[in-house]
Amino acid sequence: MINLAKVMVLGALLFFTQWTELLYAGESGKVAVMDQQAVIERTKAGKLALEDMKGYAQTRQKIISSDEQELKELQQSLEDPNAKLTDALKQEKEEQLRSKAEAYQHRVQEFNREIQQKQREMVVEYSRKIAVAAQAVAQKEGYAAIIDKGNDALIRIVLYHQPALDVTDLIVKEFDRENP
């Protein structure tokens, strides 16, 4: 999920730059922080999306595990000292093993690309929705900016803030209200 975190930080930075335009324009006001990852993890729609992503990855993993088992069995049949394989049959099985191993590698790479793409799409979609919810909270509560504070797993964007400045809970509620 590190790629997901990288995309989240990029989204947060874009979100941050949008709000800092207000501050540089000479307006002053209250600033708040939020945890965008927590919003995804705690909202109803976010939980469903994460579960969907998990199920998607698990389905792919089952296919990969099945392929691994098939490769293992084929390898064992080649190494079995009790098997009386002719040179031609042994060569045929070795070629079959090479071919299946290549197909396996290709499938693993393809599945990884698919999962990463699906994660990126989810992050982009939810970053937009979170930005809308954050904007609504900012307008209701009078904040000039709400900044994603980041997390220790990737980059902590906000190094310090008073706990009272954290509006994650408000954004979760607003997100759930806007995205039933």
Greatest alpha-carbon pair distance for the chain in Å reads: 84
pLDDT digits (tens, 9 = 90+) for 93-109: 889 999 999 999 999 99
Pick the CATH number of 2-178 from 3.30.70.580, 3.40.50.720, 1.10.3720.10, 3.30.910.20: 3.30.910.20
Report d(CA 41, CA 45) in Å as an integer. Answer: 9
Residue 180 has pLDDT above 90, yes or no: no
**First-to-last C-alpha distance (Å) of the chain:** 26
pLDDT, residue 31, reads 94
Q: In 3-state terms, what secondary structure has residue 86?
A: coil
pLDDT digits (tens, 9 = 90+) for 139-178: 999 999 999 988 777 677 787 888 889 999 999 999 999 9
Predicted model pTM: 0.70
pLDDT, residue 136, reads 96
